[in-house]
Amino acid sequence: MSGQQTAGSDPYFPANGDSRFRVHRYELALDYRPGPNRLAGTARISAIAGRAPLTEFHLNLAEFKIGRVLVNGRATQYTHRGGRLRIRPAKPLPAGAAFTVEVHWSGNPKPVRSPWGGLGWEELTDGALVASQPVGAPSWYPCNDRPADKATYQISVNTPSPYTVVASGRLLTRTTKASTTTWVYEQSAPTPSYLVGLSIGMYQTVLLGDPGLGGVPQSAHVPAYLLPQFSRDFARQPAMMQLFEELFGPYPFNEYAVVVADEELDVPVEAQGLSTFGANHVDGVRGSERLVAHELAHQWFGNSVTIADWRHIWLNEGFAKYAEWLWSEHSGGRTAQQLAGAAYRLLASQPQDLRLADPGRKLMFDDRLYQRGGLAVHAIRCALGDGAFFRMLRDWVTVHRHGVVTTVAFTAHVARYTSESLDDLVSAWLYHPALPPLPAGQSKPAKTGYRPPKGGPAAGRGRASA
């Protein structure tokens, strides 16, 4: 496991996050009333100062009413403007010191504005959900909102008893008193603020797969009327889990849950250990199965192995896109080589102005980033051969489990799996906008632990799917 790293301000979102300290735990106690969309919360944040004394620091939080702010149990001065809660302790916090911050807030949560529309807390017709990528977490709780600052979480939500609450992590307790129920979840794996998931709605809970066979516990929370279609659309998710564990290594968390919101969503949304789909992604004919694979793959690529800042988003989306192709070729659909060809033709017909390893904020969710990211991974697979490629992939996930990574770290990692220089290939795909030649498939399957796809021998979201 790689250690927690501290990065500077994110160049795409310099107002989000504070690199002068890092958080190691959030304890959130929330009370939510769906009718008036009213949220009241208390956050207890355990953090560690950086290399210099802290005379002040900030958290990101939307325009709620602040009740009080405490540092190490003592009331402190603060200002709250423009989504920033600036906190000035009574005495400077020494370099490297552990400290706690307690924030009480209340109001009507709503999405924060972004170039991609509203992000974060979304009030539904009957309930709510959170879709925070990349900067929506402050829409519902105070946080050090940068992907490199990963922490553990305990989330307690009190809400009217007819509603089901699903959050990232393991359900510890569910306690009903009078007409309300309190749900308490624990996420023990380090988690970036944008990957803390929450959904509140009228759901029926079902298990996926056979829990008696062991493996990763998988649950689903679905509106009752969608269960017949859902049971077909997600029937192969346990097989996806098995394949991805073979190819990428053990699933990095303790459980995996999916929610189908009773609402149409533009794209599914992954959180840590939890993915949320819209009712429009359930059609009874597996019309969105590639998205089921995509969101599951993010548990390895993006959630366990997390980017240091948003310049490196292709490391999330390129591998999740490629996981779609791996599932397709394994399950009898088109091979990765065929899908790479289709993606290549699509990109060739579009502007060549995207730099994969640093696309800029405007293009970070452009569909071309997803397609070109998948092609870059396929190019590396073709260059290494299946044996070295899948060893490289498993080792990447293992070495950086629950850690923070960059594109430079990835390219250095890839170089260890070949005696030939891949500098030109990597540079062409990652750092130059012009489209390189289509990667050539392998002429024969490599002799490796990788199981050849059932459909034949191994070859060689805007925000299309988040």
Say how many C-beta atoms besides its own lie within 10 A of residue 313's C-beta: 26
Torsion over CA: 186, 188, 189, 190 (sign) = positive
DSSP, residue by residue, 211-242: GGG-S--EEEEE-GGGHHHHHHHTTTHHHHHH
Contact between 41 and 141 (Cβ < 8 Å): yes
Own/partner contacts of 73-77, CB < 8 Å, gap of 24 or more, are: 73/100, 73/102
Q: How far apart are CA 210 and CA 331, in angstroms?
A: 20
**Segment 43-99, tens digit of pLDDT:** 999 999 999 999 999 999 999 999 999 999 999 999 999 999 999 999 999 999 999
Read off the pLDDT of each residue in 409-429 and give the average, rounded to a whole number. 97
Average pLDDT, the chain: 92
Beta bridge partners of 451: none
Which pair of structure tokens corresponds to residue 169?
Answer: 């992590």
DSSP structural state of residue 93? B
Helix 367-384 crosses helix 423-431 at what angle (to 10 degrees)?
Answer: 170
Check if the beta carbon of residue 435 is closer than 8 Å to that of residue 356. Answer: no
The full set of domain ranges for the chain reads 21-195, 204-297, 306-431
Over range 108-125, report the average pLDDT.
95
The predicted model scores a pTM of: 0.92
Instruction: Provide the b/e sequence for 126-160 (b: ≥16 CB within 10 Å).
Output: ebbbbbbbbbbbbbbbbbbbbbbbbbbbbbbbbbe
What is the pLDDT at residue 457?
30
pLDDT value, residue 449: 47
In the structure encoding, which two tokens stand for residue 370, read together?
A: 């997803």
Q: Cα–Cα distances in Å, from 42 out to 136, 144, 197? A: 18, 15, 17
> Model confidence at 393, in pLDDT bands (50, 70, 90)?
very high
CA distance linking residue 268 with residue 298, whole number of Å? 12
Write down the CATH superfamily of domain 204-297: Neutral Protease Domain 2 (1.10.390.10)
Asked if the domains 204-297 and 306-431 are classified in one and the same CATH topology, the answer is: yes
d(CA 307, CA 315): 7
- Give the angle subtended at the CA of 255 by the CAs of 244 and 110, to the nearest 5°: 105
User: 3-state DSSP call for residue 11?
Assistant: coil
pLDDT in tens, 207-264: 997 766 668 999 999 999 999 999 999 999 999 999 999 999 999 999 999 999 999 9
CATH of domain 306-431: 1.10.390.10
Cα 127 from Cα 165, distance rounded (Å): 10
Q: Which two tokens stand for residue 136?
A: 């929506």
Secondary structure string (H, E, C) spanning 204-219? EEEEECCHHHCCCCEE
Closest CA to 109 of 5, 174, 28: 28
Phi (first) and psi of residue 380, to 5 degrees: -70, -40
For residues 290 and 26, what is the distance between their CA atoms, to the nearest angstrom? 33
The answer on pLDDT for 278 being more than 60 is: yes
Residue 47's closest CA among 85, 88, 104, 99?
99
- Residues 427-466 have pLDDT tens digits of 999 999 999 999 887 533 333 344 444 433 333 323 344 4
Per-residue pLDDT, 215 = 86
Residue 105 contacts residue 59 (beta carbons within 8 Å): no
Q: What is the largest CA-CA distance in the chain?
A: 68
Bridge partners of residue 154, in order along the sequence = 27, 186
Residue 158: is its pLDDT beyond 50? Answer: yes
CA 304 – CA 273 distance, rounded (Å): 10
Three-class SS state of 315: helix
**Contact, 284 vs 258, CB < 8 A?**
no
Its CATH architecture, for the domain 21-195, is Sandwich (2.60)
- Please check whether residue 146 is in contact with residue 156, taking contact to mean a CB–CB distance below 8 angstroms: no
Question: pLDDT digit string (tens) for 295-350?
Answer: 999 999 999 999 999 999 999 999 999 999 999 999 999 999 999 999 999 999 99
Query: Residue 133: which of 150, 149, 146, 152 has the closest Cα?
Result: 146
Q: With contact defined as beta carbons under 8 Å apart, do 249 and 450 qualify?
A: no
d(CA 63, CA 28): 18
CA nearest to 372, candidates 439, 420, 308:
439
Contact indicator for 425, 382 with CB cutoff of 8 Å: no
Residue 341 to residue 347: CA distance in whole angstroms: 10
Rounded to whole angstroms, what are the CA distances from 308 to 4, 82, 303, 435? 10, 24, 12, 26
The H or E element containing residue 296 is helix 289-297
